[in-house]
Amino acid sequence: MRVLVTGGAGFIGGHVVEALLDAGHEVRVLDALLPEVHPAGWPAHLDPRAERVHGDVRDLPAGVLDGVDAVSHQAAVVGLGLDLQDLPLYVGVNELGTAVLLAAADRAGVGRVVLASSMVVYGEGRYACAEHGLVRPLPRSREALEAHRWEPPCPHCGRDLAWHLVPEDAPVDPRSVYAASKTAQEHLSAAWARGSGGAVVALRYHNVYGPHMPKDTPYAGVASLFRSAVARGEAPTVYEDGGQQRDFVHVRDVAQANLRALTAGVEDGALTAYNVASGTPHTIGDVAAAIARGGPDPVVTAGYRLGDVRHVVASPQRARDELGFAAQVGFEEGMAEFVTAPLRGDAPGA
């Protein structure tokens, strides 16, 4: 199978490229090589077996989809970013870029799209109130966060809530610019599937970490930010009280999920979503402590970012049952590797 991997020079994309090639697929990489992301151009670690095309999903190079059987759409601006001035960037790359790509895929007769989605589409995760059952908490207010009231209360009675695993059929509830753009990608892809008769597999990544993760950027993941702080001899800075629950999944496992999604027996003419997670939650404080081992202890600041959610931990059961995917890299093993793994930006061409 010939697969186009958009954003294939990126952190997750590069690992997906390698996994596809190792499985015997032909791979064409499309990447914009934005200077703020890839100042040295094509990264040295990108698998040399892949065909490379320099171009932007918002303005696709001619012929980039020629002979392509499936698209692995990894290209995106990720993370919470800086502030609302990032709105045009997220909408332009994530939403317009996806629309341009899907229109071209329709013209080219592509039959399958594997979409890099995200757990952020759920907003706050799944919660239950002892009196009112399953509820959807309201966004946490600035006033509550300033008062260090970290846990979202029941919207009906104000009682404390208990978090639960989020299944794929939970309603989407994006609570940041990035989350809104990832939700839009899913909606656009579902419309493409209905109109073209093709199949979309949306992989809702949880907190992905591992080698070649970007460093020292506002769009980097929290594990990378902790790692950079430790490398500078500084204590990792933990927001809120460090008790936020997340699922950290290794990038090699994410690549394997993409490989399985490529040939999964899913419904044509529809989008099928899967949580891509380890199945074992950890707090942000746990991650900071694992990365800081041997260095300065993490500092819990009680700071916050408006738009952050408190707990998002998903059920990996559907991916296990239907894709045959289960994460193989454990938290301790993965974090031990991560503290010394090369990051993007460590050296020219990294």
Of 165, 178, 164, nearest in space to 118 by CA? 178
pLDDT above 70 coverage of the chain, percent? 96
Q: Could you read off the pLDDT of 75-90 as tens digits, one per residue?
A: 999 876 667 888 999 9
Catalytic residues: 178
* Rounded Cα distance, 345 and 247, in Å: 25
Q: Could you read off the pLDDT of 240-276 as tens digits, one per residue?
A: 999 999 999 999 999 999 999 999 999 999 999 999 9
- Looking at residue 208, its amino acid is V
pLDDT above 90 coverage of the chain, percent? 83
Phi, psi (5° rounding) for residue 97? -60, -40
Of 278, 265, 272, nearest in space to 203 by CA? 272
Q: Give the pairing type, strands 199-205 and 162-164.
A: unpaired
Q: Which residues contact 267 (CB under 8 A, 6 or more apart)?
A: 199
* Rounded Cα distance, 232 and 295, in Å: 10
Torsion of the alpha carbons at 93, 99, 103 and 106, rounded to the nearest 10: 110
Q: Give the pairing type, strands 26-31 and 2-6.
A: parallel
Q: Is the pLDDT of residue 349 over 80?
A: no
Helix (H) and strand (E) counts in the chain: 10, 15
